[in-house]
Amino acid sequence: PEGYANAMGRYKTGRESAFIRASLAATGLRVLDVGGGSGRFAVPLAEAGHHLTVVDVSAEAVDMLRRRRHPNIEALHADFATFDAPSRFDAVIAIESVQYFPQVALADLFARVGGLLRAGGVFAFTGLNKRSWRFGLHALRRNRPTYNASTPGGYFTALRQAGFSVSVAQGFMWMPFPVSSNSPLVPAFASIERRFGLGRWLDQSPWVLVAARYDGRSDPVAGRPPAASLAEGRR
């Protein structure tokens, strides 16, 4: 949680929270939060009346969330690759977690999400844009982590292959600051981003926000294995 207690963290959380709220039009939804950690998004959604199931591989983060004892939140220490649920969810969110499945094809990962959604359910996530200027700088770093990142078009194709139709996509985080930055210039750059509509320039946006609806059927030309193979892809 301390990692977002700064100017950049507040900007990023605000943009992502607004996008999630806009994507979840109804109230009282059953929402799965993939990689939800200590509840950065789960707690506000629960306060708004939704019922959250948070799945995270970090035992420490899950324990922090459990200690909050929110009646609308179930926190599970589990790997999303093997997680199963007795019933389907109305929505799934995966904020800044898609990139941490580097050994899994995006279409398989999204098919896994679809398998946990009811037909017509909503999937909202953030993804790194590997075509952006920021990702290009990341590629120059030594000992850089390997991310599961794609272009906006790559995310859209993978979603269609997994049985989703894209509802809306936005770009964000054009600022030249790391997430840990507390620079007083962050609000000014955020204002520039809004004023010039940089979120519409998906091709170069460092991050993309995507909301898609699950149609309950996969693309017949996708040729992808069933979602059950996801756990094997993580090994």
The confidence score (pLDDT) of residue 96 equals 94
Structure-model confidence comparison of residues 42 and 85, the more confident one: 42
Distance CA 109, CA 73 (A): 24
Mean pLDDT computed over every residue of the chain: 88
The confidence score (pLDDT) of residue 64 equals 95
Structure-model confidence comparison of residues 176 and 108, the more confident one: 108
pLDDT at residue 233 is higher than 70: no
Give alpha helix (H) positions in 67-196: 106-114, 133-139, 152-161, 186-195
pLDDT per position as a tens digit, 79-98: 998 888 888 999 999 999 99
The confidence score (pLDDT) of residue 220 equals 41
Quick one: average pLDDT of 137-165? Answer: 88
CA atoms within 13 A on the CB side of 161: 20
pLDDT at residue 228 is higher than 50: no
pLDDT at residue 157 is higher than 90: yes
Quick one: average pLDDT of 39-43? Answer: 95
Neighbours of 220 (CB within 10 A): 7
